[in-house]
Amino acid sequence: MPIPPVRGGAVEKVWFSLGREFAKRGHEVTHISRTFSELPSEQWLEGVHHVRVKGFELSSKRYIALWRDLGYAARVLHVLPRADILVTNNPVLPLLIRTSQFGALYVHVARYPKRQMRFYGHASRIQTVSQAAAEAIISQAPKIGGKVRVIPNPLPSAICTLDVAASWQERNKQILYVGRVHPEKGVHLLIDAFKLLVQSGVHGWRLIVVGPWAAAQGGGGEGYYQSLRARRAPVVDMVNLLGPIFDPDVLAIHYRHAKLFVYPSLAEYGEAFGLAPLEAMAQGCPPLVSTLACFQDFIENGRSGFIFNHRADRPEEELYRTLKTILSSDQELMSVAVRSHEVSRVYQSANVAEMYLKDFAVIGAARRVPHNRVAQ
């Protein structure tokens, strides 16, 4: 995806935010990303030097995706500046970096590892975003366990400054989903559970689904999108499929209007953190998530959010029952919203940037070189 994140993307939003934080502290930051028609090939933004090279659209076919990653990584290799730390989230680039001239290799793992970690033994650091992902990395590649560190994703946008409790009644009776509209995200479960909710006599609520469905943008494609439209037929007036919204200010409005954010991810071997639930928390909208371990770093059931068992025999019924319980007490829902908003403060970009800079300093000290230039 391009940077700035004009087409979304969790990794893109996170590192665009972190780059600006590093630059504020006087560090020299170069950010390399793919070209985009609306952006120049080279640009300075808020102290960060942006260099863009030709990239490719996403592909759902793994061998095509890897081939495109290789082509993109080869182009990146030709424009890498000398640096003290080289952060990369491309799966192929670490395999091509066999020299220290570009800086200590810092592999950022934002998705559940797929046994590629054993090829990164020459890296200075393997950094991931949740304890669950770290445990998976160590399980798959025990020899690099000493190089693994957990630093969470930061909030790419500012935290809502509203008094959540005082403004609670201004929110609409809306259930919100924001993310890729893909089968692994469980959007079909959410629509089925919402239908059961309406059939049970719970009225007055709307379901809003925001996110890209096109395969080129990481969605499930035309077939999946049409299946969702068919599923919502009995409650079509109460379910809005809005498509992608990439403007963070517009997304913030949706978060602030809703009383519950639902993220029913089924990605057992894909999800490593889940930035969208944290973004909802930052805007005072409490999250309901599946039992994936990656969410447990920042969501405690009944306190800073809610959790349902997506591994149940009929997960849509489990989600429905959880929804019905949650929506039965507006006061309890508000209390959880307040606590989830408080938890989100820990993940402000400034705080997480400091975690990274301290880790960069450790690596820089080990290499006995300065550590004030970062390429990503």
Identify whether the C-beta of residue 333 lies closer than 8 Å to the C-beta of residue 175.
no
Shared domain for 186 and 38, answered yes or no, is: no
What's the total number of domains in the chain?
2
Closest CA to 277 of 258, 256, 299, 293: 299
Please state the rounded mean pLDDT for residues 121-135: 94
Structural domain boundaries, residue 183: 168-346
R_g of the chain, CA atoms, integer Å: 21
Give the Cα separation of 297 and 141 in Å (integer).
22
Shared domain for 62 and 72, answered yes or no, is: yes
Question: What phi and psi, each to the nearest 5 degrees, are found at residue 31?
Answer: -120, 120
Shared domain for 332 and 353, answered yes or no, is: no
* Predicted confidence (pLDDT) per residue in 98-108, tens digit: 888 899 999 99
C-alpha torsion angle, residues 44, 48, 49, 50 (rounded to 10):
-80
* Predicted confidence (pLDDT) per residue in 252-283, tens digit: 999 999 999 999 999 888 788 889 999 999 99
Token reading at 268: 């057992």
Q: Is the pLDDT of residue 368 over 70?
A: no
Residue 158 has a pLDDT of 78
Give the Cα separation of 337 and 341 in Å (integer).
6
pTM here?
0.87
The CATH number assigned to the domain holding 336 equals 3.40.50.2000
Query: If residue 35 lies in a helix (H) or strand (E), which one and from where to where?
Result: none
* Predicted confidence (pLDDT) per residue in 189-209, tens digit: 999 999 999 999 999 999 999
Burial of 43 (0-12, 13-18, 19+ CB in 10 A): middle
Shared domain for 258 and 342, answered yes or no, is: yes
* Predicted confidence (pLDDT) per residue in 43-77, tens digit: 999 999 999 999 888 777 778 888 888 899 999 99
Shared domain for 316 and 328, answered yes or no, is: yes
Residue 2 has a pLDDT of 87
Structural domain contains residue 357: yes
Per-residue confidence band for 227, with pLDDT thresholds at 50, 70 and 90: very high
